[in-house]
């Protein structure tokens, strides 16, 4: 099988590339290195079944050529991280909407299968947990930059599902929940690598808000295995799937866990959202996926709990002082 991964030098993309190569596939990645890093795929460069292009999906002739050569396209290229979204909303909207349009348009010409990675952000601030794929989206006002990300991903989903409905181009939509593991950087706001890096550097660990908000952290290895299986499941075509873990933890508990594992002496500091992000920032209190649909479709079950994941992240960031 020939695979194309857009955003393949990113955290999730690089793990997916590794998995598909180990599975015997031919993998080409395209990444503009805006948030991805060539270091993430350095170890794959010697594999003759791996090819990489440092370029943008906005280079349409190239994207068309790469899509042509693939049996399955994993579209991961996107603006990521709450920090980036708040600071660069124009880039977020343009990358997420126009970039996806280009990939889908060229995939449709040759009816290539596309696995579109969306985000749990599309549930917005719904309090109806656990979130099921058919649930309502609940967004805040357009004056709050955060919701531009959720809306842009929702448009991507609409577009992908429309290509399936109208043109019978096979698509699968995967809504990724908080995904963590080795190689993730805290540079774009992600809480797990940030806390671990802060603890390794002697603190303080910065908890935003009251720390009572919760998340479910999934191991990247489980998530990419889910993506691989969704790509080969005929039953999955034309559907949306939550991908993640349902083990819930508050951010305060997470901070305490990281502190006890890395350095019990570090201080935990509470920072109001207004200071951490921007005036009027809206956060989700709980974000928990219902994994019933993906479990039924491909037998998906997460294999690592939060303690095991944290141990792997701590090991990774201890060995790579520049990362995080």
Active centre residues (catalytic): 149
5 binds ligand UDP (CB under 6 A): no
Measured CA to CA, the distance from residue 267 to residue 198 in angstroms comes to 10
215 binds ligand UDP (CB under 6 A): yes
In Å, the largest CA–CA distance within the chain is: 59
Residues in the chain: 324
Q: Which of residues 249-268 bind ligand UDP (CB under 6 A)?
A: 251
191 binds ligand UDP (CB under 6 A): yes
Q: Which residues of 163-181 are buried (b: 16+ CB within 10 A; e: fewer)?
A: bbeeeebbbbbbbbbbbbb
Site string for ligand UDP, 171-190 (x = CB under 6 A): -------x----------xx
Measured CA to CA, the distance from residue 179 to residue 190 in angstroms comes to 9
Q: Residue 290: how many CB atoms within 10 A of its CB?
A: 16
Stretch that binds ligand UDP, among 36-44, 87-95, 204-212, 261-269 (CB under 6 A): 204-212
Residues that bind ligand UDP (rule: CB under 6 A) add up to a total of: 14
By C-beta, is 10 or 170 nearer to ligand UDP?
A: 10
Closest CA to 169 of 65, 242, 67, 88: 67
Q: Which of residues 274-303 bind ligand UDP (CB under 6 A)?
A: 283, 287
12 binds ligand UDP (CB under 6 A): no
Least Å from the CB of residue 283 to ligand UDP: 5
- Number of helices (H) and strands (E) in the chain: give both, helices first: 11, 13
Which residues would be at the binding site for ligand UDP (CB under 6 A)? 82, 178, 189-191, 194, 206-208, 213, 215, 251, 283, 287
């Amino acid at each position: 099988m020939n695979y194309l991964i857009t955003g393949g030098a990113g955290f999730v993309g690089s793990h997916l590339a590794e998995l598909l190569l180990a599975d015997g596939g031919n993998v080409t990645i395209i990444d503009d290195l805006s948030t991805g890093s060539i270091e993430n795929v350095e170890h794959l460069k010697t594999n003759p079944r791996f090819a990489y292009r440092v370029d943008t999906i906005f280079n349409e002739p190239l994207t068309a050529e790469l899509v042509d050569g693939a049996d399955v396209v994993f579209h991961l290229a996107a603006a990521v991280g709450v920090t980036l979204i708040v600071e660069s909303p124009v880039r977020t909207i343009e990358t997420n909407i126009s970039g996806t349009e280009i990939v889908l348009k060229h995939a449709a010409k040759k009816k290539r299968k596309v696995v579109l990675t969306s985000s749990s952000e599309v549930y917005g601030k719904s309090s109806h947990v656990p979130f099921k794929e058919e649930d309502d989206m609940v967004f805040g006002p357009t004056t709050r930059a955060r919701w531009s990300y959720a809306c842009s991903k929702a448009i991507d989903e609409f577009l992908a599902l429309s290509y399936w409905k109208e043109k019978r181009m096979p698509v699968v939509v995967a809504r990724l929940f908080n995904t963590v593991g080795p190689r993730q950087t805290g540079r774009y706001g992600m809480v797990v690598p940030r806390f671990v890096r802060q603890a390794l550097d002697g603190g303080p660990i910065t908890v935003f808000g009251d720390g009572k908000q919760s998340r479910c952290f999934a191991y990247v290895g489980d998530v990419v295995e889910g993506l691989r299986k969704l790509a080969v499941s005929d039953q999955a075509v034309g559907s949306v799937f939550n991908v993640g873990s349902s083990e819930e933890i508050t951010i305060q508990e997470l901070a305490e866990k990281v502190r006890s594992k890395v350095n019990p002496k570090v201080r935990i500091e509470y920072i109001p959202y207004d200071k951490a992000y921007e005036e009027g920032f809206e956060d989700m209190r709980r974000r928990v996926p219902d994994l019933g649909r993906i479990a039924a479709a491909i037998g998906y079950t997460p294999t690592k709990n939060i303690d095991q994941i944290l141990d792997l992240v701590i090991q990774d960031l201890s060995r790579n002082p520049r990362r995080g």
